[in-house]
Chain A
Amino acid sequence: MAKRRLIHAVNEALHEEMERDDRVILYGEDVRIGLFGDTRGLFDKFGGKRVINTPISEVVMTGMAVGMAAAGYRPICHMMYGNFLYTGFDSIANQAAKLRYMTAGQLKLPLVYLASTGAGRSSGAQHSDAPYPGVMNLGGIKVVIPSTPADAKGLMKASIREDNPVLFLLPTRRGGEQGEVPDGDHVVPLGKGSVKREGRDVTVVAIGVMVRHAMRAAATLSEEGIEVEVVDPMTLFPLDKELILASVRKTGRLVILDEARATCSAASEIAAIVAEQGFASLRGPVGSVAKIVKLEHAWRRLDGRNDDGFQVAPFPG
């Protein structure tokens, strides 16, 4: 075990996987220098054939990943801010997500789109989205969002080894957060969630940086005698439904904590799954805490908000 910042855990995963497999190619705008620190040292170690700076060309970049994967490589297409996924969304939605299916499995597309996610830096609404709901809806793209340094490293390694397209979201707002990371080849499988804290009274499914808030709230509530079970799905598509349903069977209550906007979101999807498949276990309505506005710049200055723009309130009743 060693203490690592989340962003350095991702960086370590990239180093180790590029070392392990020379078909892994990283490209994107300024990846040599790296805006977030996740690509640090890769160019020095692997050179310009494997760590490639691109022009600002998101439209062609997302398509290139598909072509490179078809040609036998394992590209990591670094999209920088999550919002720029929209700029390059055409090939994500129309090529990467569909080509294998439409060609009846003629292609394997081992590729990773890597992008930041989330608000909290007062960067304004065009640099702060949690862009996963739209991608979850595509099918054909696995969607991964870690909450701890250990998970970030293990999920990144699994994403690079995955034979399908993956959107890996970096919670850069929490990139500096420290945590223990296991030594050795630490791989966290895609499609499996994890219970971050066990509890009997209420299940809180928290996504990405929201896990941290859920853990804090759980600690506070525990002092009041309410035991919260915190579930971190880690992969949003395909979602570990069984883990969530099992937890709700135990607690009978569900609150979902998500940074994305509430409409057609991971939160609403999880609520729908539990309503459809776990209704009998519920002892009260599902609650969710999610964004309903796009105000981002001044958010941090508003009274009573914490630094992720959320007010952490105790579970009502």
Chain B
Amino acid sequence: MNGPDLQRSLRLFERMLLIRRMEERLGDLGKAGELPGNVHLYIGQEAVATGVCAHLDDSDWVASTHRGHGHFLAKGGDPRAMAAELMGKETGICHGKGGSMHVADVSKGILGANGIVGGGVGLAVGAALGAQLDGEGRVAVVFFGDGASSQGVISEALNIAALWKLPLLLVCENNGFSQFSPYETVNAGDIWRRAEPFGMPGALVDGNDVHAVWRVVGEAVARARSGEGATLIEARTYRWRTHVESEESFLAAPYRTQEEVESWKQRDPISRLEEFLVSEDLEKDVAAIRARVEGVTESAITDALNDPLPPVSRAFEDMFANG
């Protein structure tokens, strides 16, 4: 598959930038005590969610992780509804009942972030089976981390997805850490290679190169839509920020060096794309996008901050459908 055309590259840039700016603002708000819960920020990994979701429609399914803001926004989730959810507001996408780890918009095919590491896997396998039974070419994607790759459910899912040729993408975002444990201290071998024994295509991709992600995923989605089955993709990337924004207050010792963090910042997926776009004489478009994203982010955050809290009665709703 060729790379995306320039118009599409601009859209990828805009989406990545929106995720980045939203999270920077939300991270700051968290530090300022404006968020009732903790947040896991996605900063540095934007190319993965963006490159994957660019191939998906609202009717395709995505199951996400505890680090789910990027997936939510990349799949078309509303920035203000996400910000409001993190603030526990009535206008939150879940009326403030979910919070950061549970942002979901089922109308957009977002089955939700998930507080259980590996928790989205079964959901996506089920959605993929549903999509296969529908026979309308829908696909399901599950994002999971390198830490989650050690969960037993992954091998169950690989087996079933390969056996039944499910329209499923298993996208592992290897950001180098399972919480505070470096990859090689808790994982044996390469994750993407685990596809092969099941007879499933497996691919390794540079998760900081949105064009590369877009290409690899495009092929996998095309296979899935045409009934050729599932793919396991490992995208190597890095999280710039903390595992969880509160960690500085409780960690006794650092688990990585500042040099390592800086070296990955040199490979910023957003700057990389920006340089490319500028080299294609799209400087003006880039500037326009920057201004637009600033505006969207600002109003999403400001509106959400001004939004009301939910009434207490919300707590007693929604356990069951029909009462």
Query: Residues on A close to B: CB < 8 A?
Result: 25, 49, 52, 54-55, 57, 59-73, 75, 90-91, 94-95, 99-109, 139-140, 142, 163-164
Closest A residue by C-beta to B103? A103
Query: A101, B97: Cβ atoms under 8 Å?
Result: yes
Q: A55 CA to B157 CA in the complex, in Å? A: 10
Interchain CB contact under 8 A, B122 and A61: yes
Contact between A57 and B112, CB atoms less than 8 A apart: no
Q: Which residues from chain B contact A65 at a C-beta distance below 8 Å?
A: 126
Chain A residues with Cβ below 8 Å from B140 are 67
Q: Are A104 and B112 in contact (CB under 8 A)?
A: no
Interchain residue pairs A-B with the least CB separation, the first 9: A63-B122, A67-B126, A71-B130, A64-B126, A57-B156, A67-B127, A105-B318, A67-B123, A60-B156
- Residue tally, chain B, CB below 8 Å to A: 46
Least Cβ–Cβ distance between B233 and chain A, in angstroms: 19
Write the residues of chain B forming the contact surface with A, with a CB cutoff of 8 angstroms.
Answer: 61, 63, 93-95, 97-98, 102, 104-107, 111-112, 114-116, 119, 121-131, 133-134, 140, 152-153, 156-157, 159-160, 163, 314, 317-322
* Central interface residue in B63, B98, B122, B314, by most chain A CB within 10 Å: B122
Least CB separation from A58: chain B residue: B156
- Complex Cα distance, B317 from A61, in Å, reads 28
Which chain A residue lies CB-closest to B125?
Answer: A64
Contact of B116 among A69, A95, A140 (CB under 8 A): A95
With a cutoff of 8 Å between Cβ atoms, the chain A residues found around residue B111 in the complex are 67, 70
Interchain CB contact under 8 A, B102 and A102: yes
On chain B, the residues within 8 Å of A105 by CB distance are 317-318, 321
Interface CB pairs A-B, < 8 A, 26: A52-B129, A54-B160, A55-B159, A55-B163, A59-B152, A60-B121, A60-B125, A63-B125, A66-B122, A67-B130, A68-B130, A70-B61, A70-B127, A71-B127, A72-B130, A91-B122, A95-B119, A101-B97, A101-B318, A101-B319, A102-B104, A103-B318, A108-B321, A140-B319, A163-B320, A164-B321
Q: Is the interface of B mostly helix, strand, loop or mixed?
A: helix
Number of A-B contacts (CB under 8 A): 142
A63 to B157, CA, bound (A): 10
Residues of A contacting B107 with CB < 8 Å? Answer: 106
Residues on B with C-beta less than 8 A from A103 are 93-94, 97-98, 102, 104, 106, 112, 318
Q: For residue B93, give the distance in angstroms from its CB to the closest CB of chain A.
A: 8
B130 to A73, Cβ gap below 8 A? yes
Given contacts A67-B122, A68-B127, A103-B318, 6 further A-B pairs with CB under 8 A are A57-B156, A61-B122, A70-B106, A71-B127, A104-B94, A139-B319
A63 CA to B153 CA, complexed, in Å: 10
Contact flag A90-B116 (CB < 8 Å), given A55-B156, A104-B318: yes
Contacts of A52 in B (CB 8 A): 129
- Nearest B residue to A59 via CB reads B153
Interchain CA distance A165-B211 in the complex, whole Å: 41
Contact call B126/A68, Cβ cutoff below 8 A: yes
Q: How far is the CB of A208 from chain B (nearest CB, A)?
A: 23
Q: Which of B116, B133, B152, B319 contacts A73 (CB 8 A)?
A: B133
A43 to chain B minimum Cβ distance, whole angstroms, is 16
Q: Which of A59, A67, A90 contacts B61 (CB 8 A)?
A: A67
A66–chain B nearest beta-carbon distance, Å = 5
A58 to B104 Cα, complex, angstroms:
25
Instruction: Determine whether the beta carbon of B106 is less than 8 Å from that of A107.
Output: yes
